[in-house]
Amino acid sequence: MKIPVLFLLFAALSFSIASAEERKPNVIVIMADDMGYGDLSCYGATAFETPYIDQLAAEGVRFTSGYCSASTCTPTRYSFLTGTYAFRKPNTGIAPPSSPSIIPAGTPTIASMLKDIGYNTAVIGKWHLGLGGEEGPDWNGDLKPGPLEFGFDHCFLLPTTNDRVPQVYVEDHRVLNLDPNDPLWVGKKKPSEDHPTGITHRETLKMDWTHGHNSTIHNGISRIGFYTGGHAARFRDEDLADKWVEKSVEWIEEKKEEPFFLFFASHDLHVPRIPHERFQGVTPLGYRADSIVQLDWCVGELMKAVDRLGLAEDTLFVFCSDNGPVMDDGYADEALEKLGDHKAAGPYTGGKYSVYEGGTRTPFITRWKGTIEPGVSDEIVSTIDLYGSIAAFTGGSIPEEAALDSFDVMGAFLGDAGAEGRANFVQQDNGKGGNYGFRSGDWKLQRHDSKKTRNLVVEKLLENTPVPEFQLFDLSKDPGEKNNVIQEYPEVAEELKAELETIIASGRSRQ
């Protein structure tokens, strides 16, 4: 039988329209804070259980080479949202309490890309990318620019990180529940001689500090930076996780009819680790692991909400972390003392602040019921690629001068058989030292411009140990980066050095 060409064309066209429509999944990116590769039971932890995240992994793809792009928070979040390595932009290191918005208004982001193709977009949780113009945040006025100026329709935020002042929520452009008669003041200097601090009132603290974190006291915990006022707006640390879940579920319910993108930016397990009372003591490892269990509960609540609304087959979940683990990050919460045999970075060396694998190789899971075939993937993927990959998949567009390092590795994210991840990947630390890790296949080059590496994590021995400017490791034989083979493979090292240099110098790696 002869079928008219026009009919075939029409059929093909309507099929492609239908499939493009169908392929616009909701996207929920859950970013843990300071979670290491070994911090979940599905990644080998045995001292406690993380059943919900394990379920996510069992129903999706669990990556063994999933990375964030930096070993501190601000540069990872910057590169995740913009698709550009943070080392390309100055001042993208850990943001202080009064940082202006690091991302200028109008910058294309993964959120603006999705918003442009009809998604509802929200960020709920820790921000830590600054708010406001050059003078910094206007805490009593409009906090602009912020997420709403580069692609999010809605935000409900902890403005910095919770060891930094102030302990208030920001909803869209405003501090929530702020009483104009009790204005919020935030500053670097002690506001008055008698202002209580972690130094002057140390004996009153419910959790002591170990380094830094000894300025204004709120909820029995002293913080980085000073503030006064805004009392009605202040939250209790113990309630953060519940609030993120409440606000997220509320927002998903409201937006369920249209595709949505939710960036769920958990504060767990960053310091001060103060889980809700019902999670305190649930593990033998202290508040650090209790916070992991709390985050696991949050993930479970999000999964249940998505199931209840019948959206599991329309929703791509991504679980990742913003940097590797740290034990003592400024508070005496017994993370190190109660660690036992737990290996927070799994088999990897280093953690937060480091360009060893432990700094950026973290848990990474994707789940999309009915689309993703469950399994484990060794492909190299990174948070920085979500922008480019999801754009390519949903038909979103990226301006030529945006997302300079974000690759389309959607096949790998979906665990498609034979789909490849990245060929290589640049890891950075907080950015100021100019230290890099460069993974290319199974080779790993470390470049230490500052000639020192910090590893405040598990192996205290490495702390501020001078390191050679370049080191080379074969991760297939030496995942722990213990055995520098640069003398044995000088030509491999030269090749990787040149590739890394080209990526840095050329200003972009996306073609």
Gap between the Cα atoms of 290 and 206, Å rounded = 17
CB of 354 to Ca ion, least distance (A): 13
Residue 383 lies near Ca ion (rule: CB under 5 A): no
Helix (H) or strand (E) run with residue 303 in it = helix 287-308
410 is an interface residue for ligand NG6 by CB under 6 A: no
Q: Which of 143, 224, 335, 398 binds ligand NG6 (CB under 6 A)?
A: 224
Should residue 429 be labelled a site residue for ligand NG6 when binding is judged by CB under 6 A? Answer: no
Beta carbon of residue 58, minimum distance to ligand NG6 (angstroms, whole number) = 28
Which position has the token pair 């280093």? 350
Q: How many CA atoms lie within 13 A of 483 on its CB side?
A: 10
Number of residues near ligand NG6 (by CB under 6 A): 18
Instruction: Spell out where 240-292 has E strands.
Output: 260-265
User: In this chain, which of 72, 79, 455, 509 binds ligand NG6, going by CB under 6 A?
Assistant: 72
Q: CB–CB of 398/83 below 8 Å?
A: yes
Residue ranges in 307-326 that form contacts with Ca ion under rule CB under 5 A = 322-323
Q: Report the residue number, 220 or 507, with the smaller CB distance to ligand NG6.
A: 220
163 contributes a contact to ligand NG6 by CB under 6 A: yes
Nearer to ligand NG6, 154 or 213 (CB): 213
- Contact with Ca ion (CB under 5 A) among 25, 34, 42, 290: 34
Q: Is 94 in the site for ligand NG6 (CB under 6 A)?
A: yes
Site track 120-159 with ligand NG6 (rule: CB under 6 A), x = hit: --------x-------------------------------
- CB of 161 vs ligand NG6, minimal distance in Å: 4
- Does residue 414 interact with Ca ion by CB under 5 A? no
Q: Which residue from 24, 26, 27, 33 is in contact with Ca ion, where contact means CB under 5 A?
A: 33
User: Could you say which of 34, 237, 301, 357 contacts ligand NG6 (CB under 6 A)?
Assistant: 34
The residue range among 99-107, 208-216, 375-383, 464-472 that interacts with ligand NG6, by the rule CB under 6 A, is 208-216
**Distance between CA 255 and CA 258 in Å, rounded?**
6
Scanning 72-80, 108-116, 190-198, 386-394 for contacts with ligand NG6 by CB under 6 A, the matching segment is 72-80
Query: Can residue 73 be called a binding residue for Ca ion (CB under 5 A)?
Result: yes
Q: Which residue is nearest to Ca ion (CB)?
A: 73
C-beta of 322: minimal distance to Ca ion in Å? 4
Residues in contact with 367: Cβ distance below 8 Å, sequence separation at least 6, in sequence order: 56, 57, 59, 60, 61, 316, 317, 319
Burial 255-293 (b: 16+ CB within 10 A, else e): bbeebbbbbbbbbbbbbbbbbbeebbebbebbbbbbbbb
Place of tokens 């640049």: 426
What span, in angstroms and rounded, lies between the C-alpha atoms of 114 and 104? 18
Angle at 280 between CA 279 and CA 282, to 5 degrees: 65
What CA–CA distances, in Å, run from 272 to 36, 94, 280, 291, 317? 17, 16, 13, 10, 27
Interface pick for ligand NG6 out of 329, 405, 429, 481 (rule CB under 6 A):
329
Under a CB-based contact definition with an 8 Å cutoff, are residues 142 and 174 in contact? yes
| Contact predicate 419/449, CB 8 Å | no
What 3-state class would DSSP assign to 41? Answer: helix
- Catalog residues that contact Ca ion under the rule CB under 5 A: 33-34, 73, 322-323
- Catalog residues that contact ligand NG6 under the rule CB under 6 A: 33-34, 72-74, 94, 128, 161, 163, 211-213, 224, 270-271, 323, 329-330
